[in-house]
Structure 1
């Protein structure tokens, strides 16, 4: 989470685009990338990046249960992100060599994650859950917790999030627009990645 200010969150439809996409993002200074499990191509894309793009740090997103966590780990994901937090997910990740970034929004969810030893959390959906003002309010009672907000984060507000002391990085999809991925416009994606890498 401390390696780059923006983690690209990618919904990939064609696993064949995964390798050049990861290379384009890494060339722009964003080697860590989250491939969400929202399409049938996701696991194949993770596996391709893990095996063919050594400069990338490929992770999996939208893991909802232990079975999906294990599938992501088997595909070569270096980290796994979940929109929420459950005891089942925590148990699956306990002692594993692939860290879990669980999503928490409410004080009770954050406290439950802290009890399991998690101090780095995803904050999703950031925009709808209260955004910068909400995260600022969490900083005092949860001073040991660091967040990666995603959902509604854009180039226009990413800097506001990154200015908060309890935000380490943000997640966003704007770095790899769907149309650019579909057309193979890797130069555009590298340029967007360079801009995002300069935030913070």
Structure 2
């Protein structure tokens, strides 16, 4: 898979639903029923963050057992993270920022990367490397929908998945922008519902999120 193919795959992933759930999972046994609830709710692309020891096991389980799920790995910081995500069966990777070393590794590992940017200079640097699909992070602290709207004029080639501080109530402000394909949000898989095994509740949140783009 060359860079152009990886970019196309990232675009397809971003267009699957208005929201990509950003999941912090403490117990890998919750991964499969959680992912099935999200897929049933119309939200198939799932970002499992590398913030817990259970993350890669959760990715392996979702990749192997959940039909219709497109599982990715978030909080990718290094070549080792990127390679571990690929070997676990992830379909995409997401990073909060982008370093030259990480981007060099992404050129060698056949896993589509959604790299993060918080400033126009960072976005321009990624554009120079051939990235047209970016994560805008941290979205709300970095300037929110108003900043992304301002970028649409001088950076029309770029499309974003803003993540960080976005809620169900504010997602629509971002999704209305011409340069936003989806948003990332943690509200679909709250810790209390994961801990309680409230899969029906997570499916309901996913259904509501899937309607945001309508």
- Whether TM exceeds 0.5 here: the answer is yes
Unaligned runs of 5+ in 1: none
Tell whether 2:154 aligns with 1:144: no
Q: 2:193 — aligned with what? A: 180
Q: 1:85 — aligned with what? A: 98
Aligned pairs (5 A) from 1:59-78: 59-78=72-91
Spell out, residue by residue over 1:121-148, the C-alpha distance to the aligned partner (whole angstroms, 9 max, x if none): 0000001001011111111110000000
Q: 1:15 — aligned with what? A: 28
Which of 13, 29, 50 is residue 42 of structure 2 equivalent to?
29
| Aligned counterparts of 1:18 and 1:3: Cα–Cα separation in 2 | 20
What SS class does the counterpart of residue 117 from structure 2 fall into?
A: coil
Tell whether 2:104 aligns with 1:104: no
Higher relative helix content: 2
Tell whether 2:60 aligns with 1:47: yes
Tell whether 2:175 aligns with 1:162: yes
Q: How many Å apart are 1:97 and its aligned residue? A: 2.8
Q: How many Å apart are 1:95 and its aligned residue? A: 5.0
Q: How many Å apart are 1:188 and its aligned residue? A: 0.5
Spell out, residue by residue over 1:19-72, the C-alpha distance to the aligned partner (whole angstroms, 9 max, x if none): 000000000000110000000000000011011112100000000011100010
TM-score, normalization: structure 2?
A: 0.92
Moved over 4 A (4+): none
Residue pair 2:161, 2:181 contacting (<8 A) in 1 also: yes
Q: How many Å apart are 1:152 and its aligned residue? A: 0.6
Q: Report the RMSD for the aligned CA atoms in angstroms.
A: 0.8
| Aligned counterparts of 1:173 and 1:32: Cα–Cα separation in 2 | 13
| Aligned counterparts of 1:163 and 1:32: Cα–Cα separation in 2 | 20
